[in-house]
């Protein structure tokens, strides 16, 4: 499989190069040159496979030239053994036709574990073969940092340093990062905001000598391998609900658009997913785009679903590329305009192609709490605020009553105890593997918001290629 950039100015690469590069050098995102497709008979033969085996079958066409099947099978088996549910990504039925796809049984209780657990192992595998090491640096407001740390802890070829804003994450989120005492993991509490942390990470990447000396790498959601690793769970759910012989719909609470893009990928691989419902909180750029072709950025506002407090969804560029008939030149032009003007009217034909498959939905905080109460009363289900945006979106969509709807349940309710308490009067308990989180020893270093001490810390932590 070869990968091409959505902006057309980068040479095609193989999977290994795309995994290590993240972003293409023309600023675009990598996409498979063609989507691998399974026949209906091939999909039927995958029904009932254990999750790790299903993931191996689906992912092999994306990486087969670089990763041997036996190695991929082993990495999938190890990745999904770290999940606390035997089905890895179980379905919970909410009513006659809607099903929560629980993606939160991994080590940090959010769906990012599904992809990152595999990504950490893929990195380690290809780096060991190349005799190289990398240093991952990242900024987090809470969720992504812990999933990245859990994915990279104790990996031989990786050191990881995660910056979080001191005293500005929830205690659960901080402890999920700072109680990982592995030698290759370091946490920095920066005396500043999340934006300061992000700026410091960008400054390190822009410091070319530092970047190459440290072999800096990122694991953010623009990495193609993360999208690929999210396709198998949509396939598992669709197959369980009758695909390829019965169509399904999906409803996805969305931030950077990565998770919904993976569902779209499952459709392109031959599964009958006929509708994509996109749930947003008050940061509703995608809903405005689908309603009225209004793709215009507004300031980010905080909400009860913080992992969706995003205005510019980086992975939307991949869908745009598809909507524009894979015209990289047109995609690059659109993105340049969006960067310059903060808005981009998408050509009418492409916008219509989007609305034929995608539907947008927005829910404010009061609506989110009301939906969490409704789920508890009508289905006995305790949902986190992100998942509740997805279930409300599914209910609001008229077509969703004709086919089964798969709702991406993206976080465990115990990860957002304040919102659950506000909705239901009582916070959920942490699952057994985290029950002692508040007693565990923490380790982190507090640093001022200044590049020099931060780079000095990373330099001291990184083992590089010594």
Q: Minimum CB separation from ligand PLP for residue 183, in Å?
A: 27
In the bound state with ligand PLP, the residue whose beta carbon lies nearer, of 98 and 223, is: 223
> Looking at 3-11, 206-214, 252-260, 357-365, which segment touches ligand PLP (CB under 6 A)?
252-260
Residues 6+ apart with CB under 8 A from 122: 19, 63, 67, 75, 225
Question: Under the criterion CB under 6 A, does residue 307 sit at the interface with ligand PLP?
Answer: yes
254 in contact with ligand PLP (CB under 6 A): yes
State in angstroms the smallest separation of the CB of 384 from ligand PLP.
7
The values of phi and psi at residue 409, to 5°, are -90, 100
Q: Are 252 and 234 in contact (CB under 8 A)?
A: no
Helix (H, G, I), strand (E, B) or coil at 421: helix
Binding mask 331-370 for ligand PLP (x = CB under 6 A): ----------------------------------------
Which residue has tokens 């950025």? Answer: 297
Least CB distance to ligand PLP at residue 445 (A): 25
Question: Which listed residue (16, 143, 166, 284) binds ligand PLP by CB under 6 A?
Answer: 143
Least distance between ligand PLP and beta carbon 257 (Å): 5
CA pseudo-torsion sign 187, 137, 449, 417: negative
CB-based contacts of 97: which residues, under 8 Å, 6+ apart? 400, 401, 403, 404, 405
Nearest distance from C-beta of residue 96 to ligand PLP, angstroms: 25
Q: How far apart, in Å, are the Cα atoms of 341 and each of 164, 240, 314, 464?
A: 30, 45, 16, 41
Question: Is there binding between residue 308 and ligand PLP (CB under 6 A)?
Answer: yes
CB 276 within 8 A of CB 264: yes
Q: Using the rule CB under 6 A, which residue among 253, 270, 272, 417 binds ligand PLP?
A: 253
* Spatial distance between the Cα atoms of 192 and 206, rounded to a whole number of angstroms: 20
Q: Which of 264, 265, 298, 305 is nearest to 284 (CA)?
A: 298
Least Å from the CB of residue 165 to ligand PLP: 17
Contact status, residue 302 vs residue 278, Cβ threshold 8 Å? no
Q: Should residue 112 be labelled a site residue for ligand PLP when binding is judged by CB under 6 A?
A: yes
Instruction: Enumerate the active-site residues.
Output: 112
Rounded CA-CA distance 8/328 in Å is 5
Using CB under 6 A, pick the residue from 231, 411, 424, 447 that binds ligand PLP. Answer: 411
258 near ligand PLP, judged by CB under 6 A: yes
Chain centroid to CA 100: 17
Cα–Cα distance measured from residue 35 to residue 24, given in angstroms and rounded to the nearest whole number:
19
Nearer to ligand PLP, 56 or 254 (CB): 254
Complex with ligand PLP: residue 138 or 253, whichever CB lies closer: 253
Contact status: 169 vs ligand PLP (CB under 6 A): no
Based on the shown chain and the rule CB under 6 A, indicate whether residue 56 belongs to the binding site for ligand PLP.
no
Q: In a 3-state reduction of DSSP, which class is residue 21?
A: helix
Under the binding rule (CB under 6 A), the answer on residue 255 touching ligand PLP is yes
The span of 2-10, 195-203, 247-255, 333-341 binding ligand PLP (CB under 6 A) equals 247-255
SS3 31: strand
Q: Which of 98, 256, 283, 303 binds ligand PLP (CB under 6 A)?
A: 256
* Stretch near ligand PLP under the rule CB under 6 A, chosen from 62-70, 83-91, 255-263, 367-375: 255-263
Angle between helices 285-292 and 348-357 (to 10 degrees): 110
Minimum CB–partner distance for residue 62 and ligand PLP (Å): 18
Residue 384 or 455 having the CB closest to ligand PLP: 384
Q: Which of 110, 114, 248, 405 binds ligand PLP (CB under 6 A)?
A: 110
Rounded Cα gap, residues 277 and 13, in angstroms: 32
Q: Is 229 a binder of ligand PLP (CB under 6 A)?
A: no
- Among 386, 413, 420, 434, the residue binding ligand PLP under the rule CB under 6 A is 386
Q: Are 69 and 394 in contact (CB under 8 A)?
A: no
Which listed residue (66, 176, 221, 251) binds ligand PLP by CB under 6 A?
221
Q: Are 231 and 103 in contact (CB under 8 A)?
A: no
Q: Indicate the residue among 66 and 305 with the shorter CB distance to ligand PLP.
A: 305
CA distance 23 to 26: 8
Applying CB under 6 A, the residues found at the interface with ligand PLP are 110, 112, 143, 221, 253-259, 307-308, 386, 410-411
């Amino acid at each position: 499989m070869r990968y091409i950039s959505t902006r057309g100015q980068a040479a095609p690469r193989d999977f290994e190069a795309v995994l290590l590069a993240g972003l293409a050098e023309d600023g675009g995102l990598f996409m498979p040159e063609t989507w691998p497709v399974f026949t209906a008979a091939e999909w039927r033969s995958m029904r009932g496979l254990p999750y790790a085996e299903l993931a191996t079958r689906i992912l092999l066409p994306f990486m087969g030239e670089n990763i041997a099947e036996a190695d991929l099978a082993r990495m999938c088996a190890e990745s999904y053994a770290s999940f606390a549910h035997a089905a890895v990504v179980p379905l919970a039925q909410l009513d006659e036709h809607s099903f929560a796809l629980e993606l939160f049984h991994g080590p940090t209780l959010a769906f990012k574990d599904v992809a990152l657990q595999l990504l950490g192992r893929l990195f380690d595998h290809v780096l060991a073969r190349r005799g190289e090491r990398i240093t991952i640096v990242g900024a987090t407001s809470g969720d992504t940092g812990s999933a990245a740390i859990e994915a990279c802890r104790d990996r031989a070829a990786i050191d990881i340093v995660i910056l979080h804003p001191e005293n500005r994450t929830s205690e659960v989120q901080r402890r999920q990062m700072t109680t990982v005492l592995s030698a290759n993991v370091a946490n920095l509490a920066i005396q500043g905001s999340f934006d300061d942390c992000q700026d410091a990470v960008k400054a390190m990447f822009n410091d070319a000598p530092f970047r190459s000396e440290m072999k800096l790498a990122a694991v953010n959601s623009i990495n193609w391998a993360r999208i690929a690793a999210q396709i198998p769970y949509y396939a598992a759910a669709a197959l369980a609900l009758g695909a390829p012989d019965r169509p399904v719909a999906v409803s996805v609470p969305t931030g950077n658009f990565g998770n919904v893009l993976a569902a779209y990928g499952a459709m392109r691989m031959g599964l009958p997913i006929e509708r994509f419902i996109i749930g947003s909180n008050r940061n509703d750029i995608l809903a405005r785009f689908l309603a009225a072709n209004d793709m215009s950025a507004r300031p980010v506002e905080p909400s009860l679903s913080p992992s969706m407090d995003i205005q510019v969804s980086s992975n939307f560029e991949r869908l745009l590329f598809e909507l524009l008939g894979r015209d990289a030149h047109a995609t690059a032009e659109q993105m340049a305009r969006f960067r310059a003007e903060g808005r981009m009217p998408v050509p009418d034909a492409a916008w219509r192609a989007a609305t034929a498959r995608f539907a947008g939905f927005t829910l404010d905080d009061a609506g989110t709490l009301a939906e969490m109460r409704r789920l508890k009363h009508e289905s006995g289900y305790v949902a986190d605020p992100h998942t509740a945006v997805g279930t409300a979106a599914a209910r609001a969509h008229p077509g969703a009553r004709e086919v089964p709807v798969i709702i991406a349940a993206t976080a465990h309710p115990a990860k957002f105890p304040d919102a659950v308490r506000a909705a239901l009067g009582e916070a959920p308990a942490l699952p057994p593997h985290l029950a002692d989180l508040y007693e565990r020893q923490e380790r982190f270093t507090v640093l001022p918001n200044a590049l020099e001490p931060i780079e000095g810390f990373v330099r001291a932590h990184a083992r590089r290629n010594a």
